[in-house]
Amino acid sequence: MPIHTVFDLLAWGGGGLLGLAVRRCWLAGAATPDPIRHPWWYASAILGAVAGAVALGTLNIHLAGLPGMGKSVVGALAGAIAAVEAYKHFTGLSGSTGLGVVAPLAFGIAVGRIGCLLSGLEDFTYGTPTALPWGMDFGDGIARHPVQLYESLAMAAFLVWFLAALALGHEMPRRHGFALLVAVYAGQRFCWEFLKPYPDVIGPFNLFHLTCLGLLAYGLVMIRRRRDRHAHA
């Protein structure tokens, strides 16, 4: 079994178990829609994630002049958000519905990126050459930025903060959890994209830079809206 697949299974299997534990401990009745009443919320999230992952991942590969099909975490996140927001619009479901997936997503990305790191050059997620002492050789004799590890550590740090804040009873993770996840993920990913060998699309920005800007705007707008709503409640 490919090492990437092993870590994908660990990431999403472990993330699912963590999500159940977080729901039981701190988010009972306040996490995600009832799967019995809203099965299409879950279906739309999954279908949107798959479509977004393949669409943006493949487009990025083709822009780089490479053949084949790709997958992208940031594409999956963008696709899932777009699909769920469309579902909520057409069904009248209101409010934030993503709190229950914050811990599983952060855990899944943190662990899954280790699989990307260990997959070497074939995964096309490595960084640009560097002379820094922690540069890694992914199989071609060139020390490169381990951007997969940067992303893994960033999301692990967010997960630790999120769980600690929930355990301490802070309102911020409960009120803005999913929007914070999106904003943090998009912000740190935007930075690492400058260290990747992907082709520029507009100015110094590649496809994922632009996607991250959209996600960052979404996260910040959602936080602002909920703050305003809470202030006038």
**Who wins on pLDDT, 136 or 233?**
136
Q: What is the pLDDT of residues 155-194, one digit of tens each?
A: 999 999 999 999 999 999 999 999 999 999 999 999 999 9
Tell me which residue of 180, 119, 116, 171 sits closest to 149, measured CA to CA: 116
**Which pLDDT does position 29 carry in this prediction?**
65
Mean pLDDT of the chain: 92
Domain count, the chain: 1
Cβ atoms within 10 Å, residue 18: 17
State how far the Cα of 232 lies from the Cα of 153, in Å rounded to an integer.
Answer: 37
Residue 92 banded pLDDT, cuts 50, 70, 90: confident
Q: Residue 39: is its pLDDT beyond 90?
A: no
What's the rounded mean pLDDT across residues 90-106?
Answer: 87
CA-CA distances (angstroms) from residue 227 to 98, 153, 176, 186, 231? Answer: 17, 29, 9, 20, 6
State pTM to two decimals. 0.93
Q: Residue 233: is its pLDDT beyond 60?
A: no
Q: Give residue 95's domain range.
A: 3-231
Q: What is the pLDDT of residues 102-144, one digit of tens each?
A: 999 999 999 999 999 999 988 899 999 999 999 999 989 999 9
Specify the DSSP element, H or E, that contains 23: helix 3-26
What ranges make up the beta strands (E) of the chain?
136-137, 143-144, 200-202, 205-206
**Which pLDDT does position 44 carry in this prediction?**
94
Specify the DSSP element, H or E, that contains 69: none
Rg (CA), the chain: 18
What's the rounded mean pLDDT across residues 7-25?
Answer: 94
What ranges make up the beta strands (E) of 3-156?
136-137, 143-144
Q: Cβ(156)–Cβ(109) under 8 Å? A: no
